[in-house]
Amino acid sequence: MHKQKFPIRGTENLMRQMTDIHRPIDLNHKISELKRELRMREHLYPRWVASAKLKKEDADRRIAVLRTILTDYKDQIPKQNDLFEAENKKKTKAV
On the question of pLDDT at 6 being above 70, the answer is: no
Whether residue 44 is contained in a domain is answered as yes
The pLDDT confidence band at residue 44, using thresholds 50, 70 and 90, is very high
Rounded (10°) angle between helices 56-94 and 27-50: 170
Whether residue 57 is contained in a domain is answered as yes
Radius of gyration for the chain, computed over Cα atoms and rounded to the nearest angstrom: 21
Whether residue 45 is contained in a domain is answered as yes
Whether residue 15 is contained in a domain is answered as no
Whether residue 30 is contained in a domain is answered as yes
Total domains present in the chain:
1
Whether residue 79 is contained in a domain is answered as yes
Average pLDDT of the residues in 69-83: 82
Q: What is the residue-averaged pLDDT of the chain?
A: 80
Instruction: Give the residue ranges of DSSP H helices in the chain.
Output: 12-19, 27-50, 56-94
Q: What domain range includes position 87?
A: 24-94
